[in-house]
Amino acid sequence: MLFYEKSLSSTNKFSCSNCHDQKFAFTDRKVFSPGVDSEVNPRNTMSLANLLWVKNFFWDGRTEGLEKQVEVPLTGVHEMGQSLDASVAKVKKKKFYAARFEKAFGSREITANRIVKAIAQFERTLVSAGSRYDLHLQGKYRLNAEEQNGMDLFFTNPNPSKGVRGAGCASCHGGPKTYSELFQNNGLEKQPNDPDRQAITGLAIDEGRFRVVTLRNIALTAPYMHDGRFSSLEQVLDHYNEHVVQSEFLSPFIKNNSNIADGEKLGLTAIEKKNIIAFLGSLTDSTFISDPRFSDPFK
Amino acid sequence: MKLIANIGLAVILFCSSPASAQVKPGSASLKISGEVTKDFAFTKDDLRKLDRTTAILKDRDGRDVPYTGVSVQRLLEMAGVTTGKQLRGENLTKYLLVKCADGYEILFSLAELDNGFNDKKVILANESAGKDLPVDRGPFRIVIEGEKVPARSSFQVVEFKIAFAK
């Protein structure tokens, strides 16, 4: 309920759901999202799914743990723009919350810590595991030929000397989670103009690195990348296939990941790219985006 | 061997701190922490002053590539980690967690790394073919000779953490 509570913002017009809309797998399909002051945030809004397995949050991994993550948008001046103390005062005025806090925490007391914990715990329940890919893993659904070929390419590293074709996606997006707790430079630019992961660690080798994101529901969460530069999955595949910028900081998983002997480019065919996109479509979880447990209780 | 005396410096180098200064790849260090008798950090210059050894790793075309560095067991001994005759009883439930700059992590049981238990060659390498490792792999990487899959021969190692399995 607090996830959808607009009084947690300084203008009483923003809740978490303004940027994290369930029908778009908890994104807003904008390149950059505006906050209470109408200023846009510098990075693309991230999807919320399967967060209970994530250690470090945001594109640059700046916070560890969901409770710390929750505080950032609540109090950020370009997001919901309100102190936690002000939020407590407003929530206390809404009579129906006291009983809910008692049920959740054992007493009617409303504190900043409890508000943060409640939202974080709600986010932990946002589990997306009902896609056709999941049904395939359970033996309940058979991927069609395009999806199957796309999945095979997705999970295979190319090895031209042995005639093995692949896209090598699984080095970062492997396993049912479709992400790893990694930060990688995926060759978007020679000299990134975003402070990226390096601003957090101070390490030169972190230049151009951002966290590896989940691909769950990826067909619903355009635009893509930390700056929302790609409006379609076709553009994303084109980037990884043809436009990766080589640099000393480029991810070793991408560097020389090629279907061409001694090649720098991935070298997938147009049909192979299309098949991978078909497989990515199988990661869409229609139950997740319509589950009433995750929906706005005020509607 | 000149060690970084103040472990705080290593913390500044590698841990999350928006205020920390940028660090050139060549000056990076690796720290060993957790179940140690002394926190310990070293640079690649420190590593060069220790007993050097070479381990072979196959590249993806099956060619043998030699890497040079220091035995991981030797480094653990320098941090006071239980090795050799101390590695018995409950100490056999200890592990080494290897942390890399990009967030990648892999794990060894301490017994895996101990020459009292086996002859597996596991080194922390900083050179190959007489040159420093390239930025995207170095300055330090793990090399496990003879392991069928290279997934644990990880790049850009920044920390060794010793802990008990619970």
By C-alpha distance, the chain B residue nearest A196 is: B18
Under an 8 A CB cutoff, do A205 and B101 touch? Answer: yes
Based on the number of CB atoms within 10 Å of its own CB, is B113 exposed (0-12), middle (13-18) or buried (19 or more)? buried
| C-alpha distance from A184 to closest chain B C-alpha (Å) | 6
Q: What is the pLDDT of residue A124?
A: 97
Q: What is the pLDDT of residue B83?
A: 93
Under an 8 A CB cutoff, do B103 and A199 touch? Answer: no
- Pick the residue with more confidence: B2 or A211? A211
Residues on chain B touching A199 (C-beta within 8 angstroms): 18
Q: What gap in Å lies between CA A259 and CA A104, rounded to an integer?
A: 54
Indicate if the pLDDT at residue A23 is higher than 60: yes
Tell me the per-residue pLDDT of B41-58, one tens digit each, with 9 for 90 and over.
Answer: 888 888 899 999 999 998
Q: What gap in Å lies between CA A187 and CA B16, rounded to an integer?
A: 23
Interface test with A, best of B31, B59, B99, B102 (most A CBs within 10 A): B102
Span A94-102, mean pLDDT?
Answer: 95
Task: Tell me what the pLDDT averaged over chain A comes to.
Answer: 95
**Residue A213 near residue A62 (C-beta atoms within 8 A):** no
Tell me the per-residue pLDDT of A107-142, one tens digit each, with 9 for 90 and over.
Answer: 999 999 999 999 999 999 999 999 999 999 999 999
**Residue B38 near residue B165 (C-beta atoms within 8 A):** no
Closest by Cβ to A181, choosing from B17, B103, B136: B103
Indicate if the pLDDT at residue A248 is higher than 50: yes
ipTM: 0.74
Closest by Cβ to A200, choosing from B16, B24, B28: B16
Indicate if the pLDDT at residue A299 is higher than 90: no
Q: What is the pLDDT of residue B138?
A: 87
Q: What is the pLDDT of residue B8?
A: 36
**What does the H/E/C string look like for chain B?**
CCCCCCHHHHHHHHCCCCCCCCECHHHCEEEEEECCCCCEEEEHHHHHCCCCEEEEEECCCCCEEEEEEEEHHHHHHHCCCCCHHHCCHHHHHEEEEEEECCCCEEEEEHHHHCCCCCCCCEEEEEEECCEECCCCCCCCEEEECCCCCHHHCCCCEEEEEEEECC
Residues on chain B touching A262 (C-beta within 8 angstroms): none
Under an 8 A CB cutoff, do A200 and B104 touch? Answer: no
Q: What is the pLDDT of residue B22?
A: 38
Residues on chain A touching B22 (C-beta within 8 angstroms): 198, 202-204
Closest by Cβ to B103, choosing from A157, A183, A248: A183
Q: What is the pLDDT of residue B7?
A: 36
What is the percent of chain A with per-residue pLDDT over 70, rounded to a whole number?
100
**Spans of chain B below 50 pLDDT:** 1-26
Interface test with B, best of A205, A251, A255 (most B CBs within 10 A): A205
Task: Report the b/e string of A152-181 with b at 16+ CB within 10 A.
Answer: bbbbeebbbeeeebbbbbbbbbeeebbbbb
H or E element in which residue A56 lies: strand A56-57
Q: What is the pLDDT of residue B75?
A: 94
Residues on chain B touching A200 (C-beta within 8 angstroms): 16-18
